[in-house]
């Protein structure tokens, strides 16, 4: 963790991909808003400036403080970062006369530059900007061009500062990973030693130092994140970890019992708490998505507060928060990021709860969580379990929540997920679930008119949930599943399949 990369975020939709590409090189990276004060620059060996939806020529242009970075640490500017380093250091950036979006090819490369070792002319890159660099400052050297972009890359003489107008982090830039490796390993000298095993070692050591002999209470969900967090904490503090699995009444069919059974034999101290009635009572009449999330999060915390008082001297609440949760929930005042949706396990604790928070997985992505779990010997079937939202079926029932709607959706969900397993499709899907829609539609059953609920099935493929695409499930599977749902779930007479990608849609409907 001594060899870390800082990514300064200017609000680009691709910033998270930069972090992922860097980590795929076994180099640890962190994202911070460009104006954040929550990091110490001495902790990093290299810095990357992200792209941005803003123009450097606008009054709203983000202005980072680079006084402790530029010329002192290896620096790579990407897109907006490249334009910023040119425009505000005596170069010129103006509106492009040609369309600079999509695929392009490098027509010129300075092969003497380490940044382009192993990369040749003709290599495909991905452009996404409306401004272009018209002229470079006097001590800047152009080192790559495309047919339409003269200053596609440059280096500042006398510094380990490089900039590229294209996006190396996206799949369409064919040598993007090679370019990042050249910058981070050959230019910045970082070690490629950030692996699942090293993460376990450093995290366990950090947990021991942070928690000491204190007792910790952790909320298990049966999913990958909370389970991996529990095993890490168990390695660090052993018997001082107290795990609680709460039935919020919004779980999948028979999940409360099956999850408790799943943890038998893992050596974890697990207690089941059935709070279904409490959650459903609090949710009564609430139909706003954010309102439901906040109620579920509040009651979740209240239940844990009750349980924590039953454990003598417990001081910490552990959560399975992962990096996408943090990224989607945080919006810095005056910063570039927008809050997509709130997450029930992000944002701290209310004043009445006197527990401190510990989040072992806060800075890693979902696929990294699975690799960490595998390195610790956690069962492959558990690690392969689809993600399930913390608010559970509460955000898959659009509109208000009732016990009957929960029962209905549980039956639909069970038919869908069991069918995926039966057809050997489950492992080809990253996440699947059903949504109960707040509309009735006319149907015909046995020559009689029905006016019942419509459900939407959703199955997506993804790596970490930041982006996702719908899965092209076989028509025969969808036909069989639809028939089975309508014939077996009272109150449902119509089934539709969601073919929206993320973006623009989210994976969950609420």
Residue with token string 């509460």? 394
Cβ atoms within 10 A of the Cβ of 366, count?
A: 21
What whole-number distance in Å separates Cα of residue 311 and Cα of residue 294? 26
DSSP string, 240-284: GEEEEEEE-S-SPTTHHHHHHHHTTTTT--EEEEE-HHHHHHHHT
Angle, helix 366-375 to helix 196-211, in steps of 10 degrees: 90
Residue 79 is a catalytic residue: yes
Catalytic residue among 113, 169, 181, 368: 169
Catalytic residue among 54, 129, 167, 242: 167
- Residue 360, classed as helix, strand or coil, is coil
The DSSP code sequence of 25-84 is TT-EEEEEETT--S--GGG-SEEEE---SS-TTSTT------TTTTTTS-EEEETHHHHH
Taking the CA of residue 63 as centre, how many other CA atoms within 13 Å lie in the half-sphere pointing to its CB? 7
Catalytic entry in 79, 87, 100, 181: 79
Angle at 331 between CA 327 and CA 336, to 5 degrees: 95
DSSP three-state, residue 102: strand
454 is catalytic: no
Please provide the size of the chain in residues: 510
Catalytic-residue membership of 54:
no
Indicate the pairing of strand 92-109 with strand 270-274.
unpaired
Question: Catalytic positions, please?
Answer: 79, 167, 169
């Amino acid at each position: 963790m001594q060899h870390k990369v800082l990514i300064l975020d200017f609000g680009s939709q691709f910033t998270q991909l930069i972090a992922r590409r860097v980590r795929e090189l076994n180099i640890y990276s962190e994202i911070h808003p460009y104006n954040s004060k929550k990091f110490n620059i001495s902790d990093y060996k290299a810095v990357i400036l992200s792209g941005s939806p803003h123009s450097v020529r606008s009054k709203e242009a983000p202005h980072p403080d680079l006084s402790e970075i530029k010329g002192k640490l290896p620096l790579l500017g990407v897109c907006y970062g490249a334009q910023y380093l040119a425009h505000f250091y005596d170069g010129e950036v103006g509106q492009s006369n040609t369309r600079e979006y999509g695929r392009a090819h490098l027509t010129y490369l300075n092969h003497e530059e380490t940044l382009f070792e192993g990369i040749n002319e003709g290599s495909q890159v991905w452009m996404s900007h409306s401004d272009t660099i018209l002229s470079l400052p006097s001590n800047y050297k152009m080192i790559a061009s495309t047919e339409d972009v003269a200053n596609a890359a440059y280096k500042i003489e006398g510094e380990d500062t490089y900039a590229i107008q294209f996006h190396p982090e996206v799949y369409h830039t064919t040598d993007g990973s090679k370019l990042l490796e050249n910058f981070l390993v050959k230019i910045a000298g970082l070690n490629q030693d950030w692996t699942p095993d090293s993460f376990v070692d450093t995290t366990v050591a950090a947990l021991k130092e942070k928690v000491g002999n204190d007792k910790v209470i952790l909320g298990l969900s049966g999913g990958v994140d909370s389970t991996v967090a529990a095993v890490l904490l168990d390695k660090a503090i052993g018997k001082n970890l107290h795990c609680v699995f709460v039935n919020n009444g919004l779980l999948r069919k028979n999940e409360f019992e099956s999850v408790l059974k799943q943890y038998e034999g893992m050596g974890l101290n697990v207690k089941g708490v059935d709070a279904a009635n409490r959650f459903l009572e609090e949710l009564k009449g609430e139909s706003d998505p954010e309102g439901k999330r906040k109620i579920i999060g509040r009651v979740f915390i209240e239940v844990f507060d009750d349980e924590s008082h039953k454990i003598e001297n417990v001081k910490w609440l552990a959560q399975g928060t992962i990096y996408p949760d943090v990224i989607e929930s945080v919006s810095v005042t005056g910063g570039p990021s927008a809050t997509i949706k709130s997450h029930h396990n992000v944002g701290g604790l209310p004043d009445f709860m006197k527990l401190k928070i510990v989040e072992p997985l806060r800075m890693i992505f979902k696929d990294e969580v699975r690799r960490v779990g595998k390195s610790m010997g956690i069962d492959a079937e558990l690690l392969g379990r689809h993600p399930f939202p913390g608010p559970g079926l509460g955000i898959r029932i659009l509109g208000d929540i009732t016990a009957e709607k929960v029962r209905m959706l549980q039956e639909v969900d069970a038919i869908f997920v069991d069918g995926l397993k039966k057809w050997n499709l489950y492992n080809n899907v990253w996440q699947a679930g059903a949504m109960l829609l707040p509309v009735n539609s006319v149907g015909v059953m046995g020559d009689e008119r029905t006016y019942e609920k419509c459900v939407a099935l959703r199955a997506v493929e993804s790596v970490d949930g930041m982006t996702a695409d719908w899965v092209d499930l076989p028509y025969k599977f969808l036909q069989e599943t639809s028939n089975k749902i309508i014939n077996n779930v009272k109150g449902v007479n119509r089934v539709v399949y969601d073919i929206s990608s993320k973006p623009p849609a989210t994976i969950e409907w609420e």
